[in-house]
């Protein structure tokens, strides 16, 4: 008797029914969710000797409790190499059509009782999708060099990934490794997580991939976030949604591993000469909130805006004052402004912030905005909103054509990246015009006795990337960028470490089943801007072809 691993067309039909009204994920501190998974099997008219399906079950974690879980028919439960709960269904191999199901109720509340990271040493090496290139290591080290503690470094890297990787729906059906994500700077949640994990492991901090379902504010979908080992505990971070330490309670976890490659379902048969291509499996997914609750008061937030009426093309500062409570927090801040108001440098990526606060710590965080051209004789009110975890802050900027509008020149180097290829190091600097006048000038790079210079032009609120090529036999050196306009000078030191260190042997878990990866990516919709009222229904269709081994 020959055991075959099925090659199947796996179609996920996700039909979500959200019964709770006005659910905003970043305001959801507690949630009870009812989850129904139902599979339909079509053997294509064949009779098999044995048919088995293994899939993930919902586990118990400090962040969630599985209240009930019922399967039909009854299924056995086991633990895999990562500690995930696995349900095994032994089905009737003689039936051409049959269904089986799993119904679960899960309570979720992220708190500050993090799980012990006793196995963290296993999550430092490269794995299938976690490729630590010299460029990734250099960028991670560059960001981390500005901070002292591991938690500060992790929060800063999470913010960088969130703001520098563009969410792209075209990656829904793809799974990319961290090396590709760093170069392409685009993807969905699994790409965000892979790059984040690679950067964290590159600086010697363990990080693992966590698979979940999440509510976007419009839809339920599969999702990936990350857990990082800090001070002996696994602390969650979600670079896709710019959350850390405390996640919103719509994250319902079902598995974990080194990366996306470990999130697998397994289907196997025993038969004589079965036609694998005729076998299909369809899974329907349905979830609804039975109840939700908000966050307790975590921190105080005050929005500070200009007090006087400002003029057209005025450059203004929006400041948020934060005062923390008794716990360490990573506070997500998202600035929402009318489309006419420009955030300098903003394009397809974000200008969000993830602000780390120690117990009782106070901090101020600021953005620059530029007002548009205004008409004579009108008074304008521009609404400003800061969205955060558990609360928002709102205010108004008053403006008129006759208001105060001081001309300001201001430049900032926001990102330095480097790539080595054939003895040539390419270094690029991203320059933003944070002022309210167009700028012309030069940018020079100085490394030891070598200096290169290029001209640039920057419109109000825009940004450009300027690159240089240096011939270097070693991948480790320091230098500085020098920017000059007719009024201002900016100097930015930098260091590069692109030395190739020995690549560690990838860690492979002990798994005895045929892997069928379940992508944790979906269209997130709008999480922060608008609440959903009434019943929301959404359909997703995913088609997977898994090759026959």
pLDDT computed for residue 35 by the predictor: 94
- Express each pLDDT in 209-261 by its tens digit: 999 999 988 888 889 999 999 999 999 999 999 999 999 999 999 999 999 99
Q: Cβ atoms within 10 A of the Cβ of 149, count?
A: 12
- Report whether 14 contacts 221 (CB < 8 A): yes
Q: For residues 163 and 257, what is the distance between their CA atoms, to the nearest angstrom?
A: 25
Lowest mean pLDDT segment, chosen from 60-74, 171-185, 457-471? 457-471
pLDDT recorded at residue 475: 67
By the 8 A CB rule, do 443 and 456 touch?
A: yes
**pTM of the shown model:** 0.82
What's the pLDDT at 501? 52
For 298, the enclosing helix (H) or strand (E) is none
Side-chain-side CA neighbours of 361 within 13 Å: the count stands at 12
Q: CB under 8 Å to 255, separation ≥6 — which residues? A: 56, 59, 82, 84, 210, 211, 262, 263
* Listed ranges 107-121, 418-432, 442-456, 476-490; the one with the highest mean pLDDT: 107-121
Per-residue tokens: 3:
């055991």
Q: Which residue do the tokens 């000078």 mark?
A: 489
> Rounded mean pLDDT of 412-437?
81
Angstrom distance (rounded) from CA 277 to CA 428? 49
CA distance 382 to 341: 8
Taking a C-beta distance cutoff of 8 angstroms, is the pair 396, 362 a contact? no
φ, ψ of residue 162 to 5 degrees: the values are: -60, -40
Alpha-carbon span 25 to 520, nearest angstrom? 18
The residues, any chain, with a CB within 8 Å of residue 44's CB and separated by 6 or more, are 96, 275, 277, 278, 279, 280
Rounded-to-integer distance, Cα 305 and Cα 390, Å: 21
pLDDT at 286 over 90: no
pLDDT of 93 higher than 70 = yes
Nearest alpha-carbon partner for 424 in 465, 364, 374, 468 = 468
Task: Name the percent of the chain lying above pLDDT 70.
Answer: 85
Q: Which pLDDT belongs to residue 9?
A: 28
Task: Compute CA distances 179 → 143, 195, 410, 475, 485, whole Å.
Answer: 18, 7, 34, 18, 36
Structure tokens belonging to residue 151: 């938690």
**What pLDDT score does 459 carry?**
84
Q: Model confidence over 38-57: pLDDT tens digits? A: 999 898 888 888 889 899 99
Residue 404 burial (CB count, 10 A): 12
Residue with tokens 């990787």: 165
C-alpha span between 442 and 451 (Å, rounded): 13
Here the tokens at position 179 are 């090396």
> In the chain, what is the greatest distance between 2 CA atoms, to the nearest angstrom?
87
Residue with more model confidence, 117 or 404 = 117
Q: Does residue 159 register a pLDDT over 50? A: yes
Which pLDDT belongs to residue 76?
96
pLDDT at 461 over 80: no
Written as six digits, the tokens of 382 are 């521009």
3-state secondary structure 23-74: CCHHHCCEEEEEEEEEEEEECCCCCCCEEEEEEECCCCECCEEEEEEEEECC
Asked if 231 and 153 count as a contact pair (C-beta separation under 8 A), the reply is no
Mean pLDDT, residues 72-78 taken together:
96
Strand, helix or coil for residue 202: helix
Look up tokens 């036609």; give the residue.
Answer: 275
Instruction: Indicate the angle between helix axes 134-144 and 150-164, nearest 10 degrees.
Output: 120
| Pick from 106, 219, 216, 103: nearest CA to 535 | 219
Q: How many CA atoms lie within 13 A of 354 on its CB side?
A: 27
């Amino acid at each position: 008797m020959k055991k075959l691993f099925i090659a199947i067309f796996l179609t996920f039909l996700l039909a979500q029914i959200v019964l709770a009204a006005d659910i905003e994920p970043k305001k959801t501190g507690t949630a009870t969710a009812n989850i129904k998974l139902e599979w339909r099997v079509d053997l294509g008219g064949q009779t098999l000797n044995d048919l088995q399906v293994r899939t993930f079950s919902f586990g118990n974690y400090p962040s969630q409790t599985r209240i009930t879980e019922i399967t039909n028919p009854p299924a056995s439960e086991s633990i895999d190499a990562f500690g995930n709960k696995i349900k095994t269904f032994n089905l009737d191999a003689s039936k051409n059509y049959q269904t089986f199901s799993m119904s679960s109720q899960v309570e979720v509340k992220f708190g500050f009782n993090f799980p012990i990271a006793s196995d963290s040493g296993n999550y430092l090496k490269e794995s299938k999708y976690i490729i630590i290139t010299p460029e990734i290591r250099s960028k991670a080290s560059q960001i981390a060099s500005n901070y002292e503690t591991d938690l500060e470094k992790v929060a800063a890297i999470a913010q960088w990934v969130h703001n520098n990787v563009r969410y792209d729906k075209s990656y829904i059906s793809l799974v990319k490794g961290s090396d590709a994500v760093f170069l392409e700077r685009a993807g969905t949640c699994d790409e965000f997580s892979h790059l984040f994990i690679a950067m964290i492991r590159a600086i010697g901090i363990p990080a693992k991939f966590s698979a979940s379902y999440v509510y976007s504010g419009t839809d339920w979908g599969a999702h990936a976030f990350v857990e990082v080992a800090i001070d002996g505990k696994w602390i969650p971070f979600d670079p896709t949604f710019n959350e850390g330490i405390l996640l919103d309670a719509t994250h319902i976890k079902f598995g974990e591993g080194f990366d996306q490659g470990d999130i697998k379902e397994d289907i196997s048969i025993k038969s004589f000469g079965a036609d694998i291509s005729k076998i299909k499996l369809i899974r329907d997914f349905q979830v609804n909130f039975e109840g939700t609750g908000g966050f307790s008061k975590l921190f105080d937030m005050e929005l500070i805006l200009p007090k006087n009426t400002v003029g057209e093309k005025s450059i203004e500062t929006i400041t948020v004052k934060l005062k923390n409570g008794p716990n360490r927090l990573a506070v997500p801040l998202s600035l929402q402004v009318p489309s006419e108001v420009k955030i300098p440098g903003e394009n397809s990526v974000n200008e969000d912030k993830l602000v780390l606060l120690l117990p009782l710590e106070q901090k101020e965080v600021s953005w620059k905005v530029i007002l548009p051209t205004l008409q004579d004789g009108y008074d304008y009110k521009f609404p400003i909103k800061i969205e955060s975890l558990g609360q928002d802050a709102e205010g108004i900027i008053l403006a008129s054509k006759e208001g105060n509008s001081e001309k300001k020149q201001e430049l900032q180097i926001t990102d330095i990246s480097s790539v080595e290829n054939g003895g040539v190091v390419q270094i690029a600097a991203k320059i933003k015009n944070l002022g309210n006048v167009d700028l012309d000038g030069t940018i020079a790079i100085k490394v030891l006795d070598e200096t290169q210079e290029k001209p640039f032009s920057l419109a109000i609120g825009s940004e450009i990337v300027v690159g240089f090529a240096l011939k270097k036999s070693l991948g480790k050196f320091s230098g500085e960028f020098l920017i000059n306009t007719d009024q201002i000078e900016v100097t930015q030191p930098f260091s590069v470490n692109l030395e190739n260190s020995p690549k560690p042997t990838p860690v492979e878990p002990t798994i005895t089943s045929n892997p069928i990866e379940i992508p944790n990516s979906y269209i997130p919709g709008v999480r922060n801007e608008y609440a959903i009222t009434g019943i929301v229904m959404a359909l997703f269709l995913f088609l997977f072809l898994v090759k026959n081994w």
